Amino acid sequence: MRLGGGSLKISIDPASGRVTVRHRDEGKEKIIEEQMELPSDLANGMTLTLLKNIAPDAASTTVSMLIATPKPRLVKLVITPAGVEPFSVGRASYRATRFNVRVEIGGFAGLLAPLVGKQPKDGAVWIIGGEAPGFVRSESQFYQGGPLWRIELASPDYPRTPARH
């Protein structure tokens, strides 16, 4: 599995536990290779699929994710349903479940992260349920220290209320 773009790329071989991170530091390509014990709940590349399959009444769901900082690090994503919100497409009205997504860094680094401004912002993803659940919208960071980016379907109209986090 290969993730990332720009100047940071991560490759994961779940069967062997081999993780390779390629990044640029002062114009030079750096390669970090690690042998890691990867958990069976690793969600890299499958987050939206997992969200589509979480019951809207589940208390919370926790999965692992491998991130590059640029050194590979395992974190936990805590996914919590946060209610149902309306949206419309043309004249049709629908309701989507909002899921809040919090990154738990864990360990000593997790204790320090909020103190030094390195704790990722909580994100949110909206999923429409039914027989074929679908992605509606998300608000999340794409990189450490970055703003919350909104990705949404092109045509829905949403009530004019401020986003809650």
Q: How do residues 25-48 score in pLDDT, each as one tens digit? A: 888 899 999 999 999 999 988 889
How many other C-beta atoms lie within 10 A of the C-beta of residue 112? Answer: 12
Q: Are 21 and 53 in contact (CB under 8 A)?
A: no
pLDDT tens readout for residues 46-59: 889 999 999 888 99
136 Ramachandran zone, left/alpha/beta (phi>0; psi -120 to 50) = alpha
How many beta carbons lie within 10 A of that of residue 49, not counting itself?
A: 11
- Calculate mean pLDDT across residues 109-125: 79
Q: What is the mean pLDDT of residues 11-34?
A: 90
- Check pLDDT > 50 for residue 139: yes
- Sign, CA dihedral 101-102-104-109, equals positive
pLDDT at residue 146, rounded to an integer:
83
